[in-house]
């Protein structure tokens, strides 16, 4: 079943058109790279998929069902951008991963044995077990991302959304995260990653989407990276035309 | 006079015992709430809501309704008005907050001035901890207990809301509802605290304990223990000082909390301005020795 189905979504902020008729599907078992420059609508598209904003037009379905129901079932895991997290917040790595379990817990979110086991397993999977008691800001850039991925694993989310996971991450950690995301997709999860790091793309993604307020291209990574396609996605063809005129 | 006499003498008076018990109630519930206000960056909102409840309390007094009801209604009214002014005009949020809460507070002052009453409504503004009656004490105790139970039961959700509201939304919780819960508790707590220090100084009890605890620990769970303990100790100390110095009790409660914050700001082992250096040099000495 298609994990994410976006159909003809239009989103406006006041007079600004952020998404202009975006249609997109994300399949389970695959990593999909979402490529676009700043202001291309990547974050708005994520918000629409997560139901944070109500699109002016169009529909979003997750796992073929209503997104609100899918969220309540814990299907959607989200790894936030660096600047959306307060890194001085007094929570440990373990606390953050445990937050992935809240949707499955009772009124006071008191953790049970199964929750502790799920958190331990998720930390093991991202190789952060020894850092479980660290305050979340006392991790390196790559470790921080892995902590949030572990939260999605503990949540048992089948759809993972990552917004710019490679920003502020060194090359070695980037390779670790790429390997981890490939494993998670191989388990059958749908992984959607927004990035403007084009170097990592061939190792990371099975397919790529080029976004500039609308979907310019959706297909193989190799084809997406062709200069003509990238030029359109990053608005360079417009500049060239203006330069010629 | 032995040191013990300094502790015991005030306790001979019923009004002092009531004052101390009330103060501890208010200090604990304010301090617990203050942890989230500080983490969310809601200090200004705490200031606004705690002032804006004044007309609600006065109207409740006039109608013979519970103070808490009036406070909650005006607390939410203030937040709604701030949102409307911010979102539908070019005025920015800080100005919107400033306009709405001062206007509501001023309206409350006008109502106080024209309302005939046996109990002096001015006590709402400056606090009247030494004049707390047994009935007041029961009312305050019930409100504080309700707020405290709700906050403690929902502490994990509130911390999640403060840390990552998008994740809360992604797993099907409602960040908006959690925010509203916190605001409701803020209005209730303001009613509890205004008996002690008055409307003007409530905000101190809603910010200082959380900020103090935040400088002492990297665990939100520990903040929720440290803040109320520090706040209760400081408040009791403030009441004792006011007895022996014959000075304003509400004022002293806040001054002592402020001094405690200053000490922690300087000497907290990990996050204190001097403490950081002391800890580092002690580590170096240990490494060398």
- B1-15 pLDDT, tens digit per residue, is 788 888 888 889 998
A193/A119 same-domain check = no
Q: Do A99 and B163 touch (CB under 8 A)?
A: yes
A166/A66 same-domain check = yes
Question: In this structure, is the dihedral angle defined by the CA atoms of residues B165, B169, B173 and B174, taken in order, positive or negative?
Answer: positive
A34/A111 same-domain check = no
Each residue of B109-157: pLDDT tens digit?
Answer: 999 888 877 666 677 777 888 888 888 888 889 999 999 999 999 999 9
A165/A244 same-domain check = yes
Of B197, B191, B195, the C-alpha closest to B238 is B197
Set of chain A residues whose Cβ sits within 8 Å of the Cβ of B165 = none
Please give the pLDDT value at position A240.
54
Q: CB-based contact (8 Å) between B87 and chain A? A: no
A146/A164 same-domain check = no
Of B38, B257, B234, the C-alpha closest to A88 is B38
Task: Give yes or no for residue B271 having a pLDDT over 80.
Answer: yes
A204/A178 same-domain check = yes
Each residue of B73-104: pLDDT tens digit?
Answer: 999 999 899 999 998 999 998 999 999 999 99
Each residue of B208-222: pLDDT tens digit?
Answer: 999 999 999 999 999
Cα angle A223, A30, A42; round to 5: 65
Q: Do B164 and A80 touch (CB under 8 A)?
A: yes
Interface of chain A toward chain B, CB-CB under 8 angstroms? 50-52, 68, 71-74, 76-78, 80, 84-86, 89-92, 95-96, 99-100, 102-103, 107-109, 135, 151, 155
Task: Give yes or no for residue B204 having a pLDDT over 50.
Answer: yes
| Position B232 confidence tier, pLDDT thresholds 50, 70, 90 | very high
CATH code where residue A20 lies:
3.40.50.300
DSSP A103-120: GGS-TT----HHHHHHHH
Q: Is A195 helix (H, G, I), strand (E, B) or coil?
A: strand
Each residue of A50-75: pLDDT tens digit?
Answer: 999 999 999 999 999 999 999 999 99
Dihedral of CA atoms A210, A215, A220, A223 in degrees, nearest 10, equals: -60
Identify the closest residue of chain B to A133 by CA–CA distance.
B219
Q: Provide the domain limits for residue A69.
A: 1-75+159-245
A183/A143 same-domain check = no
**Looking at chain A, which runs of residues are DSSP E strands?**
4-13, 16-26, 31-35, 57-62, 76-79, 159-163, 190-195, 207-212, 214-219
ipTM for this prediction: 0.92
A237/A166 same-domain check = yes
Please give the pLDDT value at position A131.
97
In a domain, A217, yes or no: yes
Residues with Cβ within 8 Å of residue B121, at least 6 apart in sequence: B58, B61, B112, B115
CB of B183 within 8 A of CB of B141?
A: no
Q: What is the average per-residue pLDDT within B266-282?
A: 85
CB of B201 within 8 A of CB of B258?
A: no
Smallest Cβ distance to B169: which of A52, A90, A108? A52
Identify the closest residue of chain B to A160 by CA–CA distance.
B170
Please give the pLDDT value at position B288.
67
Task: Give yes or no for residue B289 having a pLDDT over 60.
Answer: no
Set of chain B residues whose Cβ sits within 8 Å of the Cβ of A102 = 156-157, 160, 168, 171, 173
pTM of this structure: 0.91
Choosing from A157, A188, A208, the residue where a domain stops is: A157
Please give the pLDDT value at position A238.
55
Q: How many domains does chain A have?
A: 2
In a domain, A81, yes or no: no
Each residue of B150-203: pLDDT tens digit?
Answer: 999 999 999 999 999 999 999 999 999 999 999 989 988 988 888 788 887 889
Strand-pair partners of A25: A5
A131/A106 same-domain check = yes
Identify the closest residue of chain B to A110 by CA–CA distance.
B156
Q: Cα–Cα distance between B144 and B25 in angstroms, integer?
A: 6
CB neighbourhood size of B137 (10 A): 17
Domain ranges of chain B: 17-288
A163/A43 same-domain check = yes
A127/A163 same-domain check = no
Q: Cα–Cα distance between A209 and A88 in angstroms, integer?
A: 34
CATH topology of domain B17-288: ABC transporter involved in vitamin B12 uptake, BtuC (1.10.3470)
Residue matched to tokens 């600004």: A16
Q: What b-and-e string marks burial along A183-214, b requiring 16 or more CB atoms within 10 Å of the CB?
A: ebbeeebbbbbbbbbeebbeebbebbbbbbbb
Q: Cα–Cα distance between B255 and B242 in angstroms, integer?
A: 11
Identify the closest residue of chain A to B39 by CA–CA distance.
A89
Q: Do B159 and A91 touch (CB under 8 A)?
A: yes
Task: Give yes or no for residue B226 having a pLDDT over 80.
Answer: yes
Give me the tens of pLDDT residue by residue for chain A, a chain 245 residues long: 899 999 999 999 888 999 999 999 999 999 999 999 888 999 999 999 999 999 999 999 999 999 999 999 999 999 999 999 999 999 999 999 999 999 999 899 999 999 999 999 999 999 999 999 999 999 999 999 999 999 999 999 999 999 999 988 988 899 999 999 999 999 999 999 998 888 889 999 999 999 999 999 999 999 999 999 998 888 776 555 554 44
Please give the pLDDT value at position B120.
67
| Position B281 confidence tier, pLDDT thresholds 50, 70, 90 | confident
Give contacts of B 178-237 with A, CB under 8 A: 214, 217-220, 222-223
CB of A195 within 8 A of CB of A36?
A: no
A62/A172 same-domain check = yes
Q: Cα–Cα distance between B185 and B152 in angstroms, integer?
A: 12
Identify the closest residue of chain B to A138 by CA–CA distance.
B218
CB of B56 within 8 A of CB of B79?
A: no
Q: Cα–Cα distance between B36 and B30 in angstroms, integer?
A: 11
Q: How many CB pairs under 8 A join A and B?
A: 75
Q: Do B164 and A95 touch (CB under 8 A)?
A: no
Q: Do B170 and A78 touch (CB under 8 A)?
A: yes
Please give the pLDDT value at position B280.
80
Please give the pLDDT value at position B171.
94
In a domain, A141, yes or no: yes
Each residue of B21-30: pLDDT tens digit?
Answer: 999 999 999 9
């Amino acid at each position: 079943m298609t994990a994410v189905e976006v159909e003809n979504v239009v989103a406006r902020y006041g007079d600004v058109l952020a998404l202009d008729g975006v249609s997109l599907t994300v399949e389970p078992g695959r990593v999909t790279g979402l490529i676009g420059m700043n202001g291309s609508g990547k974050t708005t598209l994520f918000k629409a998929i997560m139901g944070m904003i109500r699109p002016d037009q169009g529909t979003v379905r997750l796992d073929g069902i209503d997104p609100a129901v899918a969220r309540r079932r814990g299907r959607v895991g989200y790894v936030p951008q660096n600047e959306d997290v307060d890194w001085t917040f007094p929570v440990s790595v373990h606390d953050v991963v445990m937050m992935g379990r809240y949707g499955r817990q009772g009124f006071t979110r008191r953790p049970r044995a199964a929750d502790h086991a799920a958190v331990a397993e998720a930390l093991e999977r991202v190789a952060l077990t020894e850092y479980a008691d660290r305050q979340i800001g006392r991790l390196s850039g790559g470790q921080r991302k892995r902590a949030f991925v572990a939260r999605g694993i503990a949540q048992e989310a089948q759809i993972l959304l990552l917004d710019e996971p490679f920003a502020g991450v060194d090359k070695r950690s980037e390779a670790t995260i790429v390997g981890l995301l490939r494993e998670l997709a191989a388990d059958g999860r749908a992984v959607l990653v927004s990035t403007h790091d084009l170097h990592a793309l061939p190792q990371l993604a099975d397919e790529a989407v080029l976004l500039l307020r609308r979907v310019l291209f959706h297909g193989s990574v190799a084809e997406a990276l062709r200069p003509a396609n990238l030029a359109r996605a990053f608005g360079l063809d417009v500049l060239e035309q203006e330069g010629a005129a | 006079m032995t040191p013990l006499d300094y502790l015991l003498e005030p306790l001979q008076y019923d009004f002092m015992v009531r004052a101390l018990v009330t103060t501890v109630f208010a200090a604990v519930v304010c301090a617990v709430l203050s942890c989230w206000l500080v983490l969310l960056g809601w200090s200004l909102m705490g200031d606004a809501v705690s002032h804006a409840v004044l007309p609600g309390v006065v109207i409740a007094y006039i109608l013979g309704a519970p103070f808490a009801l009036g406070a909650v209604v005006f607390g939410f009214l203030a937040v709604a008005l701030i949102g409307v002014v911010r979102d539908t005009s070019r005025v920015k949020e800080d100005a919107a907050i400033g306009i709405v809460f001062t206007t509501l507070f001023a309206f409350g002052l006008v109502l106080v001035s024209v309302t005939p009453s046996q109990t002096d409504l001015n006590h709402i503004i400056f606090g009247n901890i030494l004049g707390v009656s047994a009935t007041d004490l029961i009312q305050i105790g019930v409100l504080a207990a309700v707020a405290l139970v709700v906050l403690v039961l929902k502490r994990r959700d509130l911390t999640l809301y403060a840390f990552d509201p998008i994740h809360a939304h992604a797993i099907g919780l409602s960040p908006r509802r959690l925010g509203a819960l916190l605001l409701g508790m803020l209005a209730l707590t303001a009613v509890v605290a205004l008996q002690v220090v008055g409307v003007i100084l409530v905000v101190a009890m809603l910010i200082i304990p959380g900020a103090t605890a935040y400088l002492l620990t990297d665990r939100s769970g520990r903040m929720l223990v440290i803040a109320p303990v520090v706040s209760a100790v400081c408040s009791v100390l403030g009441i004792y000082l006011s007895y022996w110095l014959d000075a304003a009790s509400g004022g002293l409660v806040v001054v002592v909390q402020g001094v405690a914050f200053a000490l922690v700001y300087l000497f907290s082992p990990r996050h204190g301005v001097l403490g950081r250096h002391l800890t580092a040099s002690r580590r170096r000495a240990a490494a060398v020795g």
